[in-house]
Amino acid sequence: MNRTYSRQLYEMLSSMRFAVSLLTVLAIASIIGTVLKQNEPYNNYLNQFGQFWFPVFEAIGLYSVYHASWFLAILAFLVVSTSLCIIRQSPGMVREMKSFRTGAREASLRQFAHQHTTQTALTHTEAERVVTTYLAAQGYKSKSKAQADGLLIAAKAGSWNRMGYMLAHGAIVMICIGGLLDGDLPLKVEMLLGNKQVTSLDKPFAQIGPESRLGPDHWSYRGNVFLPEGKRGNIAVLNVKDGALLQELPFLITLKQFHIEHYSTGMPKRFASDIVITNPKTGAEIERTIEVNKPFEYMGVSLYQASFEDGGSKLKLKAHSLLPGSTKVFDAETEVGGSLQLKQGEEPLRVEVTGFRPFNVENMSQPTPTDSEKNTLAMLNRHLGSGAKSPDSKDLKNVGPSFSYKLRDAAGQAREYNNYMVPVTQEGRSFFMTGMRETQADGFRYLRLPADENDKLDTWFALRAILTTPKEHALIARRFAATAMSGEGVSDTMRARLADTAERTLHLYAERGFESLGKFINDTVPEAEREKAADVFVRVLQGSTWEAWQLLRERQKLKPLEMTTTRADFVRDTVNSISDSFHYGSPVYLELDQFEEIKASVIQATRSPGKNGVYLGCALLVAGVFFMLYVRERRLFVLLKDSGEVLLALSSNRKTLDTDGEFARHQETITTLLNHGPRTS
Amino acid sequence: MDLAQANHAPKPYLKGRSALDWLAALLLSAGGLFALAQYGQYMDDYEQAILLAAIPTFIALAWAWAGLRNLLAGVALLSLGGIELYHADLARAEQAFLLKYFLSSQTAIGWMCFLFFFATATYWLGLLARSDFAEKTGTVLTWAATVMGTTGLLVRWYESYLIGPDIGHIPISNLYEVFVLFSLITALLYLHYERHYATRRLGAFVLIVISAAVAFTLWYTFSRGAHEIQPLVPALQSYWMKIHVPANFIGYGAFALAAMIGVAWLLAERGILATRLPSLVMMEDVMYKAIAIGFAFFTIATILGALWAAEAWGTYWQWDPKETWALIVWLNYAAWLHLRLTKGLRGAVLAWWAVVGLLVTTFAFLGVNMFLSGLHSYGAL
């Protein structure tokens, strides 16, 4: 390259304009990465951007902006540019720091923004002594030099300002280099040189070959180790692009126990893992507890409590058939992460257990807007007092364990369910809650199954079975008519007609619940009377359900029940929930019978040897910033001319009002000193 | 002795201190040492060292700034009074008259809000009517608001321990608490410049941004119930929080102040209120001072954040949206300072830049929580 070109290149790279342009590009590029969620599964991006844009954005690295080659290149340029800037400026700055500029001429001092001319009758020696003593007391260092027509006292203070420049800019280079070393760069190099391939993690670790493994001597990494209680491991999974790499750790980690503690509000209070670290070479074992905010470092690797998951809790289930007329119940055993095959009706179904929670804290209070809401004074009053006061009444309750699963049909379509183990009390009644959703994006819609007087679902299942058995409908209807029209003045014909209506109602209800009834009403009843008709149907259903209940008891040789409001509620809830159960989308209800919880901890393992350099850089940066901003470099010149004229001049690289004030002060004092001369007291 | 030394050497630090200065030093030392004797057994070495270092630090501050000395006295009196009135029973907040209407945290912070609004109106009256009396009243009201707000936070700290020993924590852990902190820090920075530059004319502008923060706090309290003390999630249970958050808010407060001075500068340059506001040169100087101190503290805060992130998330930098926006804010003010210091730029560009800088800062502070997702998620709206 031509010498002038290289000179030009050097000047461009080391110019502040270039550095500021780079910083601007860096800032804008960084914004992209905050707006677009980074490092998501690639499928999400495909859905978001479509077939056309997805590969375009992938090519320019938008899904992982901060690891894209061009982004790293900007950072590298920034390091180069800042380094060159320091190299270019430093020699001059050091010279400046040392120099007193005793060669300054009167003509140039006359150009200063702050200058003042006065007279003195003192000799140069006397004047020099007075001035330098004063300046020393003011924190100035000074040096005098005889000039052609007088004596120049050159003083300076705040030279550390220039040191601040070097510290701050050097620190930025240091931080960037440390950051680059701890970032993705070593991995990129390793993948390129070592021919590493990402893997999709669809097989056990043992079957993943060396092409997707990184040795324990890999420079820097940040990955997760998944450990169920009682298990051990030495593999951290690094997420890279749309796959993963396995990072081998220089030691084995065994999870003895994972602890999770909660506040009374159900908010998590403490996550902690009791681990044992085994050094494979010496066999030495170290026991430690790591917590959030309390990591542990061993052999250059830091271990963090990152998150927790279910480690395969064992669940015992009772599967209740929801096919019409069926009362079948069968037991099943599985674990979180495991699956079950079910045969209900024609289609085979697969249950994939996705999660288990040993307890759930819910806010059970019903929002009750009070009159005082409207009254400003009362509202203000509610906000006086301690910060412990809750703005709305809360009723936090542990509603017990729950588990979730996906039910996948032969076509691969899945619905997700979330079932609670014990009944939840709502408005004084007990319900078993089971939630269903079609897609991940939806919230769960809950089906509330009323618990019977033994806090069981047995009565509900029995009632559902009998009410969905068409051949039982006639009997139930007859009994309903007999009870409903027990008076003497009622003819048998009327009773028979009511029984007939009830039977038809039950037939319709057994098809699709209220949906079939609603359709029937819409088709046959004039619009004006529909509401009334619906009301009649509901009462017929409730009455029939009560009769069905008594019929079931009779068959079990149990005494008939007295009607109470609680039982009326139960009947109403049963009629509603059986109707809803037609939209449940599953031929079975899975009841959680027993469980054995097994927790797993996710421990993050990181190695970042550049960290100390970065921290040192940070310390230097802070020092540099303070020196640059709070140490003003000032140079004060006092030229004592042989004619008795005195020229004062001050320059500063920080033009603030403080400088003006300081010059005014020095000017006044020095003038006074020179005019009155030194007096010994 | 030489005249030069007699008249012009810096005064010895301890000489010529007023009786009040010595009383402040005595009370601060006594208070600090009493706390150490009484509660030292519950503190670790760091905490004891911090407590001991706090004594000379606060004495130096109280000596350097009489207003701050009075603030310390007022806050000590009111917050200790409030704590005493509690008799370690939260229900007393509803029963004791002084607690219910003055000293319980919600009420004290409510007074702070009212006083800041009142101060804003008074400063504006002073500016428009050229009334020295109104402006002086504005200063007194701002000091009073600061006393009440600080008392509110300190009593809130105590209340959090009354809810449960495991729930108690420093009240800078959620958006509601830091908004109060922001108002207090911005007010103190302003009061400092008011004294340093001997002008009350900028109060009208700076108090606007404080009033905006107060209005947000009130909305957040009344419509979202955000004032309720919540326990700390594990990620926030760290000593770093106690220094990272205040350092950040010194930065935010100073940037907000600089932006309001920028607005005043731009108005004065166009001849609006020009005869009432201080000179353009003085406003430029205040703006520079504010951005300089904001930048210095924001640098420290970001570094402290990185150190905390290294302990909590396993890496000192991971381009989390909050980190990235902190970097953008930092670069923005670094560029501002370069333009002024290296290029010697002055005037409208820097004033506009300071105003726009507040928008960038606000986005980094609030926008990231509202619109972007990330690990730094406390205080979602």
Q: What is the pLDDT of residue B332?
A: 93
pLDDT at B1 over 50: no
Please name the residue of chain A whose CA is at the shortest distance from the CA of residue B222.
Answer: A383
Q: Please answer yes or no on whether B285 and A657 come within 8 Å at the CB atom.
A: yes
pLDDT at A371 over 60: no
Q: Residues of A with CB below 8 A from B300's CB? A: 622
Average of per-residue pLDDT across B330-354:
91
Average of per-residue pLDDT across A543-562:
93
Q: Please answer yes or no on whether B303 and A137 come within 8 Å at the CB atom.
A: no
Domain positions in chain A: 5-95+165-181, 107-158+638-674, 185-311+599-607, 314-596
pLDDT at B5 over 60: no
Eight-class DSSP state of B102 = I
Q: Which two tokens stand for residue A308?
A: 């927790």
pLDDT at A346 over 80: no
User: A395 or B152: which carries more pLDDT confidence?
Assistant: B152
CB distance B43 to B119 below 8 Å: no
pLDDT-based confidence at A372, cuts 50/70/90? very low
pLDDT-based confidence at A39, cuts 50/70/90? confident
A219: alpha, beta or left, given left = phi > 0 and alpha = psi -120 to 50? alpha
Backbone angles phi, psi at A491, to 5 degrees: -80, 160
Average of per-residue pLDDT across A84-110:
90
Q: What is the pLDDT of residue A62?
A: 86
- At A382-398, the pLDDT tens digits run 888 888 877 566 777 88
Average of per-residue pLDDT across B133-162:
97
Choose the weakest-confidence range: A499-503, A654-658, B169-173.
A654-658
Q: Which two tokens stand for residue A199?
A: 């893997």
Q: What is the pLDDT of residue A539?
A: 92
pLDDT at A660 over 70: yes
pLDDT-based confidence at B10, cuts 50/70/90? low
Give the integer Cα–Cα distance in Å for A471 and A679.
127
Please name the residue of chain B whose CA is at the shortest distance from the CA of residue A624.
Answer: B296
Q: What is the pLDDT of residue B4?
A: 42
Backbone angles phi, psi at A237, to 5 degrees: -95, 125
Q: What is the pLDDT of residue A344?
A: 66
Q: Please answer yes or no on whether A20 and B231 come within 8 Å at the CB atom.
A: no
- At A608-652, the pLDDT tens digits run 999 999 999 999 999 999 999 999 899 999 999 999 999 999 998
Choose the weakest-confidence range: A10-14, A214-218, A576-580.
A10-14
- At A418-466, the pLDDT tens digits run 999 999 988 889 999 999 998 888 888 999 999 998 999 999 999 999 9
Strand partners, A246: A213, A237
Q: What is the pLDDT of residue B2?
A: 44
Q: Please answer yes or no on whether A293 and B334 come within 8 Å at the CB atom.
A: no
SS (H, E, C) A150-211: EEEEEEEECCHHHHHHHHHHHHHHHHHHHHHHHCCHHHHHHHHHCCCCCECCCCCHHHCCHH
Q: Please answer yes or no on whether B2 and A133 come within 8 Å at the CB atom.
A: yes
| Most B CBs within 10 Å, among A14, A21, A32, A34, to test the B interface | A34
Q: What is the pLDDT of residue A677?
A: 55
Element containing residue A342 per DSSP (H, E): strand A339-343
- At A178-198, the pLDDT tens digits run 998 888 888 888 888 888 888
Q: Which of A208-222, A399-413, B112-126 has the highest mean pLDDT?
A: B112-126
Please name the residue of chain B whose CA is at the shortest distance from the CA of residue A169.
Answer: B334
Q: Please answer yes or no on whether A391 and B166 come within 8 Å at the CB atom.
A: no
- Architecture of domain A107-158+638-674 in this structure: 2-Layer Sandwich (3.30)
- At A201-255, the pLDDT tens digits run 888 888 888 889 999 988 899 999 999 999 999 999 998 877 899 999 999 999 9
Q: Residues of A with CB below 8 A from B230's CB? A: 265, 267
Q: What is the pLDDT of residue A5?
A: 87
- At B191-236, the pLDDT tens digits run 999 999 999 999 999 999 999 999 999 999 988 888 899 899 998 9
Look at residues A186, A459, A226 and name the one whose alpha carbon lies nearest to residue A337.
A226
* Most distant pair of Cα atoms in chain B: their distance: 70
Look at residues B172, B150, B186 and name the one whose alpha carbon lies nearest to residue B294.
B186
Q: What is the pLDDT of residue A680?
A: 42
On the 0-12 / 13-18 / 19+ scale of CB atoms within 10 A, A198 is middle
Q: Please answer yes or no on whether A293 and B235 come within 8 Å at the CB atom.
A: yes
Query: What is the CATH class of A185-311+599-607?
Result: mainly beta
Q: Residues of A with CB below 8 A from B227's CB? A: 383, 387, 391
Q: Which of A419-433, A516-530, B71-85 has the highest mean pLDDT?
A: B71-85
pLDDT-based confidence at A367, cuts 50/70/90? low
Average confidence score pLDDT of chain A: 89
Backbone angles phi, psi at A366, to 5 degrees: -95, 130
For every residue of B113-176, DSSP letters joined together read HHHHHHHHHHHHHHHHHT-HHHHHHHHHHHHHHHHHHHHHHHHHHHHHHHH-TTT---S-SSHH
B234, B310, B328 ranked by CB distance to A269: nearest: B234
Q: What is the pLDDT of residue A170?
A: 94
pLDDT at A158 over 70: yes
In chain B, % of residues over pLDDT 90: 82
The whole-angstrom distance between A292's CA and the closest CA on chain B is 6
ipTM at complex level: 0.93
Q: What is the pLDDT of residue B377?
A: 64
In chain A, % of residues over pLDDT 70: 96
pLDDT at B7 over 60: no
The whole-angstrom distance between B99's CA and the closest CA on chain A is 7
pLDDT at A345 over 80: no
Backbone angles phi, psi at A677, to 5 degrees: 75, 165
Global confidence as pTM: 0.86
Q: Please answer yes or no on whether A386 and B281 come within 8 Å at the CB atom.
A: no
CB distance A405 to A416 below 8 Å: yes
The whole-angstrom distance between B27's CA and the closest CA on chain A is 28
SS (H, E, C) A453-464: CCCCCHHHHHHH
Between A and B, how many CB-CB pairs are < 8 A? Answer: 194
> Strand pairing of A243-262 and A213-214?
parallel
For every residue of A136-154, DSSP letters joined together read HHTT-EEEEEEETTEEEEE
Q: Please answer yes or no on whether B234 and A138 come within 8 Å at the CB atom.
A: no
Average confidence score pLDDT of chain B: 92
Q: Residues of B with CB below 8 A from A363's CB? A: none
The alpha carbon of A458 is separated from its chain's Cα centroid by a whole number of angstroms, namely 43
Element containing residue A499 per DSSP (H, E): helix A492-512
Residue in the structure block whose two tokens are 């004592």 = A640
Q: Residues of B with CB below 8 A from A390's CB? A: 225, 228
